[in-house]
Amino acid sequence: MLSPRRSRRTAATVGAALSVALMLSACSGDSGDGSSDGTIDVWAHTGQAAETEALQMLVEKFNSSQEDVTANLTLIPEADYTSTIQATSAEELPDVMEMDAPTMAAFAYDRKLIPLDDVVSSETLDNRISGVTESGTYNDATYAVGMFDVGLGLWGNRALLAEAGIEAPATAEEAWTTEEFTANLEKLAEVSPSGKAIDLGEANGFAGEWGTFTTTPDLWSAGGTLMKDGKADGVLNSDDNVEALEEWASWREFADPNTSGSAFQDGQTALTWTGNWMYPTFSEALGEDLALMPLPDFGNGTKAGHGSWQWGVTPVAEDDPEAAGAFLDFLLTDESISAMVEANAAVPGSTSALEQSELYGADKPLELFATNLESACGSDSVTEECIAVARPVTPGYPTVTSSFGSALLAIWGGAEVKDELDSAARAIDSDFSDNNGYQDD
Amino acid sequence: MAQTSAPSQRISRREMASRVPHYATLLITGLLFLAPVAYMVAASLAPASDTLAGFAVFDVTQWGLHNYSGVAASLSSDSTGHLWRFFAVSFTVTIAVVGLGLVVNSMAAYALSRLAWRGRGLALFAILLLLIVPFEAVAVPMFYLYNDARNTLWIQIVPFIGNALSIFLFYSFFSGIPHSIDEAARMDGAGPWRIFWRIIAPMSKPAYASVAILTFLTQWGSFLWPVLMISDPNLRPLPLQISVFAGQLPPAWGQVMAFGVLLVLPVIIVFLIFQRWFIEGVASSAVKG
Amino acid sequence: MASPALLLLLLFVAVPFLAAIGFSLYNVRLGDPRAPTFMGFTQYARILTDPDISRQFLQALLHNLIFAAVVVPVQTALALSLALLVKKTIPGVGIFRSLFFLPVVFPIALVAIIWRLILARGDDGLLNSALGFFSGGAFGSQDWLGSGLTALASVIVLSIWQGCGFQMVILLAALQQVPAELYEAAELDRASAWQRFIHVTVPGIKTTLVFVALYTMILSLRVFDQIYVLAKSGGGLNEGATRTVMYEAVTAAFDENNIGRASAISVVFFVIVVILSVIQRRATREKEG
C-alpha cells in the first residue's frame, strides 16, 4: 500500500510549508514597534524614478551619518498610497510617513499623526517657506513638514509660439485671459505638428488627484472655489465654477490625448499644462525653446495649485520622538533638500535652500513658481492678489477630490457641467453630514 | 479490425486530406492564443525602446537578458522588496493553502459522508449554503474585521484553508465509495481515523488531485485580498507585486514582462508535469451542479 | 473531524458575511477613533435610489451584466469550438490542448498587464501596429482601453483569452462521454456534420453546457482584478466605462474609507449572486430531469 508513504509525504510538505511560513513571518519583523531600539520605520510613496532614487540615497546617507538611529524605508506605490495609510490602524503605522498635502488633515483627524512642534527642531520649522508651513498646519498645529512645494504652470515651445506669432507671458500679471488663451489655442493648433495645441494631461486621468490639482486653479481664477465653511452646495456648483469648467471643456478640441506620453517634449504640441517635476525632461528636450508661463486668467487673476508630498510622525513614535525628529531634521537640511529638488525640480521647501537654488530666483528658469508661492492663500479665502492656492484642508478631502474628479471626467466627456457639479456637491455634503461635518476637537 | 492493408491505407489517405483544414484551423487558433504569450516573452528579451514599437519586439537580433538582470537589480532592497521573497511568499501561501486545505476539507467531507454525529445534517446544509458565497462578497467585511492582521503571512493563508467547494467535491467523491469497504475495515477493528487515512484517503487520489489543482489555480493568482491587506513589500505575493511594478514611473515595461515570465514559468513547469491531473481536475469541477 | 474546516468557514465566511449586514447599517470608517453612527437602511437607499450614488452603482452593475451577456455566449461557444477542435485524437492534438489551456495558469493580474501593452494607444501598440500593417494603414490607431466605446470590449477580450481554456476542458470531458454509437447511428442516417452536432452533440452535453454557461455568469459578476490593475497601475483604462460592482465595493472601502457603503454593496452583490445561483440550480435540475 502506498498510503503511509503518501500521507507522510503530505505531512512533510505541509510541515515544510508551515516552517517556511514561520520563518518568513519571523524575519519580516513587526512594523510598528521599532522606535525604542533606535530603529525607525519610514513609509514613502514610489514617485518618479529619479525622485525615489534620491530618497533612497538620502535614507542611506542618514543611516551612515550617525549611529543612534537606523531608518528602514518601505516604498508603497503611489496609486495605493493614501488608501494604504487609511487602511492601516494607528498602531500598525511606521514611525515616520510621507503623505500628499491635502490628505494630511484626514490623517490628523484619524489620530494617525502627532503634532511636530516639539518633534522637529525649531530651526528647521522656522526655515520653511510659507507655502510649506501652510500646507503642514491643521487646527493651528504643525502636523507635516515638506522638503519642497510644487509648481503648476503652462509650458510652451518657443519655436512653435514664434511660428504662430505669439509671445509667451513671463509673469503672473501678463497671464493670458481666457479669450486670449482660446484664440492662441486656435493659432497654435495650426502650427503644432500633431494638429493639437495643448496636452492637458488627460492621460493621467481627470478622475484622480491629477484632475483636482490641475483644474481647481481654473475655479479659483474664476472667483469660485471647492467648498466654504464645510459646505459644497452653492459653492462648488456656483455660476462662476460652471462657466469656468464649460470653458475648460471647450478646450477639448485643441487637446492632444498624448498617446506617446511625450507629445510636448517631442515638439508635437505647442503647450502643456503640468508641474515642476517635468522640468528636467522638458529642458533636456527643448533647451532654450522651453518657456514657463502662468495659467490663463479667468477674471480673478491667474492662480496655481500648491501643496506637495510632505512628512509626518505617527503615534507609534510617541514614546521616543527624538529618533523620528532626527530623521526629519536630516531630510530638511539644505543639503538633503537640494539633492531631492535636483531630482524633481520642485520649489525647495526651506528659505535658505530656495536662496541657493539654481532654478528658482530672479531670472532663473522656474522663477515663476517661486513668486507664485510668495503670494499663497487657502482654498476658502482666495483673493485676486493671491496666486498659489492650497487645496482644502479638511478631513473630508478624500470625498471632495473623488466626487469632484468624477464630475471632471464626465464633463470632459461632454456631460452637462451644472448637473455634474450639482451631483458632486450633493455627494460631498452628504458625506460631510454623515460624519458630523468632520468636526475635530 | 481484420482488414487488408490496401483499403486501410486508402482510408488513412482520405483521412489525411480531411485533416488538412482541421490542422490549419488548429494552427491559426493556436497562434492567436499563443500571441500574447509570445509577446510577453519577446518583450522580456527585447530592448526597452522596442517594447512599445509594434513588431520590433520580435527582432531576434536585438534580444538579450538585460531585462532579467534589470529586474533582479531593481528588486533587491528592503524598501522595494526582494525578487526571491515575492516567490517565497507566493509559494509558501499557495503550498500551505493547498496542503492544509486538502487535509482539513477531506476530513470534513469524510465526517459528513460517513460518520454519524449531532448536527451533521445542519452542517451539510450550511456547506451547501456557503457554496454560493463567493469570496468577493465577504472581502470588504473581512478587510475591516481582520485589519489588525494586515501585513502578516497568516492572513494570506488561514482564511482560504476551509473551502466549501473542496468539501463538496470530496463529499461527492467519498459518497461514491461503497460502504462495504469501511464496513470490512471496521470488522477488523479499525477506528474512523484509521479507516480514513489508510483506506478512504488513498482510494481518493483523483479527488485530492482535482481539489489540489483547483485550489492551486485560484490561490496562485490571488489578487483582491492582497490588494486590501498587504502593503509590506516583503510580504507581497507575485500577482500583487507585478501590478505594483507595472505602476511605477516611468514604467520599465521590458522588466515588467521579464518579471511576468519568471512569474508564470514555475506554474507552466508544474502544469506540464501534472498536465493530466490539471485537465482531469478542472473537468471534475463540473460535477458540482 | 469536521470541526477544523467548519470553524474556519465560520470565521472566514459566515461571520464576515453577517458582519457585512451589520456594517451596512452604520457609518463605519476604518481607523476612525470615534464610534460609528447608526444609519439604518440609508446606505441601501443610496446605492439603489439616490440619483448620484445609485447612478454609479447601477452603471457598475450594468457593466457586469453587459460583461456577462457577451462573455457567457461568446466564451461558451468558443470553448465548445476549441473542445471540438481538440476532441479527435490525431497526432499533435495534445500540444493544442495544452496551448489552449495555458492562459488559465496565468494570474489575471499578469494577463491584464500583457494586454495593456498589446492594446497600447497610438500606433506603437502591437494590436494597432498589426491592424495598421494588414490594412495598409487604412485602419487608424485606436485607444482601445481609453475610449469609452472599446474599453469594456477590450477587458472582455482579455478575460475570454484567459478563461476560455478552463471551460474548454470541462466541455471536452463532456464531449468524450457522448456515446460513439450515437454518432455512428447518425452517420448511417446520412446526417450532415451540422445535423450530427445539433442532434447528437448538443443534447449529449446539454447539462454541462448549461453548467458552464451559468458558472461563467457567476464569474462575470465577480470581475475585479483586471479592472483594478488596468485602472490603477498606469493602464489608462477608462474607469467610467468599465467599473464593476466589486470595483465599486473595493474603492468605496479602500479609497473612500466608506466601509458602511462598501458592505451594503457586498450584501446587494451577494443577493444578486444568490438569485442567479438559484436560477442555475433550477435550470440544471430541469435539464437533468
The 3-class secondary structure across B32-62, one letter per residue, is: HHHHHHHHHHHHHHCCHHHCCCHHHHHCHHH
**Chain A stretch 8-37, residues whose beta carbon is closer than 8 A to a beta carbon of chain B:** 10, 13-14, 16-18, 20-21, 24-25, 28, 31
User: What residue has cell string 512653435?
Assistant: A160
Mean pLDDT of B184-195: 89
pLDDT, tens only, C215-255: 888 889 999 999 999 887 666 788 888 999 999 999 889 88
Count how many residues are written for chain B: 289
- A306 pairs with which residues across the strands? A390
Mean pLDDT, chain C, rounded, equals 88
pLDDT in the model for residue C234? 62
| Local confidence band at A259 (pLDDT 50, 70, 90 cut-offs) | low
Domain B79-287 belongs in CATH node 3.40.630.30: no
Closest CA to C211 of B289, B211, B284: B289
A362 pLDDT higher than 70? yes
CB count in 10 Å sphere of residue C24: 27
Q: Identify whether the C-beta of residue A104 lies closer than 8 Å to the C-beta of residue A135.
A: yes
Of B192, B242, B283, the CB nearest to C110: B242
Mean pLDDT, chain B, rounded, equals 88
CA–CA separation, A86 and C72 (whole Å): 38
Q: Identify whether the C-beta of residue C5 lies closer than 8 Å to the C-beta of residue B104.
A: yes
| Local confidence band at A282 (pLDDT 50, 70, 90 cut-offs) | very high
pLDDT, tens only, A177-214: 999 999 999 999 999 998 889 999 887 778 888 899 99
Mean pLDDT of A237-241: 96
Interface test with A, best of C121, C149, C255 (most A CBs within 10 A): C255
A419 three-state secondary structure: helix
Task: Decide if B122 touches C, using CB distance below 8 A.
Answer: no
| Region of C122 on the Ramachandran plot (φ > 0 left; ψ -120 to 50 alpha; else beta) | left
pLDDT in the model for residue A104? 95
B18 pLDDT higher than 50? yes
Q: How far is CA C210 from CA B131, C281, C285, in A?
A: 18, 10, 10
C-alpha cell at C200: 447528437
pLDDT, tens only, B146-157: 998 999 999 999
Is C71 or C124 the better-scoring residue by pLDDT? Answer: C71
CA–CA separation, B107 and B126 (whole Å): 16
Of A87, A110, A430, the CB nearest to C254: A87
B277 pLDDT higher than 90? no
Domain ranges of chain C: 19-288
End-to-end CA distance of chain A: 72
pLDDT in the model for residue A35? 43
Mean pLDDT, chain A, rounded, equals 88
End-to-end CA distance of chain C: 35
CA–CA separation, B97 and A345 (whole Å): 48
Is C130 or A94 the better-scoring residue by pLDDT? Answer: A94
Of A80, A207, A259, the CB nearest to C239: A207
Least confident of A60-69, A311-320, B213-222, B242-251: B242-251
Q: Going by C-beta distance under 8 Å and a sequence separation of 6 or more, which residues neighbour residue B273?
A: none
Mean pLDDT of A4-29: 47
Please indicate whether, in this complex, the C-beta atoms of A92 and B151 are within 8 angstroms of each other: yes
Query: CA angle, corner A321, sides to A318 and A326, nearest 5?
Result: 160
| Local confidence band at B2 (pLDDT 50, 70, 90 cut-offs) | very low
CA–CA separation, A20 and A9 (whole Å): 16
pLDDT in the model for residue B6? 46
pLDDT in the model for residue A402? 85
pLDDT in the model for residue A209? 87
> Any idea what DSSP says for residue A118?
T
How close does chain C come to A351, measured CA to CA in Å?
A: 35
CA–CA separation, B76 and B85 (whole Å): 10
Of B40, B54, B279, the CB nearest to C129: B54
pLDDT in the model for residue C122? 64
Residue ranges of E strands in chain C: none
Domains (range + CATH), chain A: 35-150+307-356 (3.40.190.10), 152-306+378-438 (3.40.190.10)
How close does chain B come to C149, measured CA to CA in Å?
A: 23
pLDDT in the model for residue C160? 96
Please indicate whether, in this complex, the C-beta atoms of A74 and B95 are within 8 angstroms of each other: no
Mean pLDDT of B88-113: 96
pLDDT in the model for residue C276? 83
pLDDT in the model for residue A376? 84
Closest CA to A211 of A268, A274, A120, A300: A274
Domain ranges of chain B: 5-64, 79-287
Task: Decide if B223 touches C, using CB distance below 8 A.
Answer: yes
Q: Contacts of residue A73 in chain B, CB cutoff 8 Å?
A: 78-79
CA–CA separation, B88 and B79 (whole Å): 17
Mean pLDDT of A131-156: 93
Above 0.85 for ipTM, yes or no? yes
C61 pLDDT higher than 50? yes
Task: Decide if A162 touches B, using CB distance below 8 A.
Answer: no
pLDDT in the model for residue A106? 92
Least confident of A93-107, B16-30, C4-18, C159-173: B16-30
pLDDT in the model for residue B131? 84
CB count in 10 Å sphere of residue B49: 10
pLDDT in the model for residue A175? 96
| Local confidence band at B11 (pLDDT 50, 70, 90 cut-offs) | low
Mean pLDDT of A157-182: 95
| Local confidence band at C123 (pLDDT 50, 70, 90 cut-offs) | low
CA–CA separation, B281 and C13 (whole Å): 24
Closest CA to B111 of C5, C85, C59, A103: C5
Closest CA to B153 of A13, A93, A21: A21
Mode of pairing for the β-strands spanning A376-377 and A152-157: unpaired
How close does chain C come to B124, measured CA to CA in Å?
A: 10
pLDDT in the model for residue B235? 95
Please indicate whether, in this complex, the C-beta atoms of A434 and C32 are within 8 angstroms of each other: no
Please indicate whether, in this complex, the C-beta atoms of A260 and C39 are within 8 angstroms of each other: no
Percent of chain B residues past pLDDT 70, beyond the cut: 93
C-alpha cell at C154: 477590450
How close does chain B come to A17, measured CA to CA in Å?
A: 5
Classify residue B126 by burial, with Cβ atoms within 10 Å: 0-12, 13-18, 19+.
Answer: middle
Q: Identify whether the C-beta of residue A282 lies closer than 8 Å to the C-beta of residue A264.
A: yes
CATH number of C19-288: 1.10.3720.10
Of C28, C100, C102, the CB nearest to B144: C28
Closest CA to C17 of B140, B66, A359, A401: B140
Which chains, if any, share at least 3 CB pairs under 8 A with chain C? Answer: A, B
Task: Decide if B161 touches C, using CB distance below 8 A.
Answer: yes
